Structure 1
Amino acid sequence: MADMDTEKARASAWFRSLRDEIVAAFERLEKAQVKGPLSGTAPGRFEVSETRRASEDGSDAGGGLMSVMRGGRVFEKVGVNVSTVHGQLGERAQAAMAARKGLPGMADDPRFWASGISLVAHMQNPHCPAVHMNTRMFWTPHGWWFGGGSDLNPCLERPEDTAHFHSVQKSHCDRHDADFYPRFKAWADEYFYVPHRMRARGVGGIFLDDHCSGDWEADFAFIQDVGRAFLPAFLPLIEKRRGIEWDEADKEAQLVHRGLYAEYNLVYDRGTKFGLETGHDANAVLMSLPPLAKWI
């Protein structure tokens, strides 16, 4: 398979542009007035740092930007990471990819290239749901794939918020294939399930991986719409809920739910495992963990 240099550059540029749009939208949200104990605090701002992938021989293996806001008026902790990395897959990653994708020859040519955006937001107000979103492109000499999705993680569930989040996901999926939303919603329900707790991590969304129809342009257009769906699905919920007063019982529910979130990300999340196994910056990989959590 050709190296697809032009396509890889376009994908990498798109993920960066999406990152810039989301960071700007979140900082605008921070500047809006809020009620309650944080009304007098200054709006949060993102701290931006470069990340580098560690290669075994010390050669350049790519990197990206880690953008984290802590202690804001709306966001207690939110990270928006973007990266483009390359190198050779280790033996464990080769075996996992060969098994999952049914690809021969990974050991003979284990080169890879990957680019994407990953976002996790943990909110100050327990009435505001936490959220996760990512989109990515992965390439090897044996094939290319897209993946990603987004899912909502409220500690205090509201059916109308869940319905809005899913309706936006569905409308963006339906632009490409009427079968996409029900298929990828079901995949999210399965993927974001926490077996040892016998419950879902949140109220779902969409999830897809290894997506390759053979038409790169069509698949790229679809993964762009997965990213475009995020802000209209999430921001109206926060704008509606950020002014609701909360009490200690609400905060307790939030911290306990965050414990569930942390358990899932450390034990089951495929992206966490891949990032750590391939030498990406550990702080960027573990950015998804909440600032505070509680177990009972």
Structure 2
Amino acid sequence: MQDQRRRAADWFRDLRDQIVEAFEGLEDRAGGDAMPGRFQVTPTRRGEDGGGGLMSVMRGGRVFEKVGVNWSEVHGTLAPKAQTAMAARGVPGIAEDPRFWASGISLVAHMQNPHAPAVHMNTRMFWTPGAWWFGGGSDLNPCLEYAEDTAHFHDQLRQACDAHDPDYYPRFKAWADEYFFIPHRGRARGVGGIFYDDLNSGDWDADFAFTRAVGQAFLPAFLPLAEKRMAQDWTDQDRDAQLVHRGLYAEYNLVYDRGTKFGLETGHNPEAVLMSLPPLAKWI
């Protein structure tokens, strides 16, 4: 399993590099008087245990108002709260041995133009002495929805899923619809996507291949939407709708998001964990 862990961590790092390059390229193509945005890269460390990662954040670009593309590889001992939660999920042996290793990529983009959708994507591998699994997904969060954009995003994810298992897309889309729901608002935070966790079919190579497919589908799913909408005219009312929608996004990530809770409970850099929060938001 040591070799598999190394392969997974290296691939997540490579995906991070590809996305950073693509996003900076989009900033260059956008044109305009403002300087094209660039990522500020900061190494991170995880508390008193081991590991860390790279926090890559761009602020105030031509296309992106704030975008983070983080990679991490961490290990150590789970805090009692996280250990109890995993034991409740049925992770084998975790109640007796709280050691863990995890690696993954996490991305959230908040856009300058209200017509361009915000987006989230992550993929990860988790290991404990008694188990391993993959998880992740991607979902689109427009404040001003375009049906053709939603259809394109879902079609790319469907193709990635269907290449591995025809049951994956309907199953993981339904999981995303349930997971990315804000109970206290009675609504979804966006137009969905896919979400999966605890993926262990018994075939590590197959599950890793699917997780790579999810990551590789991200740029074809999202980049054409950002490029199409980045120069579209918008009004003060559009901006207001964007800020209100961002308030919903912030509420979800702070109250319900599993990754946010895990990152804070296991002592990872809080700036990296909370990278997903928008730069500006509004509540009415």
SS of 1:260's equivalent in the other structure is: helix
For residues 231-285 of structure 1, give each alpha carbon's deviation from its aligned partner in whole angstroms, at most 9, with x where no partner exists.
Answer: 0000010111111111100000000000000000000000000000000000000
For residues 103-127 of structure 1, give each alpha carbon's deviation from its aligned partner in whole angstroms, at most 9, with x where no partner exists.
Answer: 3532321100000000000000000
Q: Is 1:8 aligned with 2:18?
A: no
**From 58, 66, 91, the counterpart of 2:55:** 66
Distance in 1 between the 2:129 and 2:12 partners? 22
Aligned-residue RMSD, C-alpha: 0.8
* Match in the other structure for 1:281: 269
Give me the TM-score of the superposition, normalised by structure 2: 0.99
Distance in 2 between the 1:98 and 1:14 partners? 28
Percent identity for Structure 1 against Structure 2:
74
Q: Is 1:229 aligned with 2:222?
A: no
* Match in the other structure for 1:267: 255
**From 250, 253, 258, the counterpart of 2:246:** 258
Distance in 2 between the 1:103 and 1:78 partners? 33
* Match in the other structure for 1:48: 41
Distance in 1 between the 2:212 and 2:132 partners? 16
Distance in 1 between the 2:174 and 2:92 partners? 29
Runs of 4+ in 1 over 6 A off after TM superposition: none
SS of 1:258's equivalent in the other structure is: helix
For residues 10-43 of structure 1, give each alpha carbon's deviation from its aligned partner in whole angstroms, at most 9, with x where no partner exists.
Answer: 0000000000000000000000134xxxx21000
Question: 1:80-119 to 2 correspondence within 5 Å?
Answer: 80-100=69-89, 102-119=90-107
Of 219-228 and 88-97, the range deviating more from structure 2: 88-97
Distance in 2 between the 1:125 and 1:162 partners? 17
* Match in the other structure for 2:130: 142
Distance in 1 between the 2:203 and 2:91 partners? 19
Consecutive unaligned residues of structure 2, counting only runs of 5 or more, are none
SS of 2:30's equivalent in the other structure is: coil
Distance in 1 between the 2:181 and 2:94 partners? 30
**From 15, 20, 25, the counterpart of 1:18:** 15
SS of 1:206's equivalent in the other structure is: strand
Q: 1:71 to 1:214 in 2, by over 3 A?
A: same
Distance in 1 between the 2:197 and 2:4 partners? 18
Consecutive unaligned residues of structure 1, counting only runs of 5 or more, are none
Distance in 2 between the 1:276 and 1:105 partners? 23
Would you say how many aligned residue pairs link Structure 1 and Structure 2? 284
For residues 184-235 of structure 1, give each alpha carbon's deviation from its aligned partner in whole angstroms, at most 9, with x where no partner exists.
Answer: 0000000000000000000000000000000000000000000000000000
**From 145, 170, 174, the counterpart of 1:186:** 174
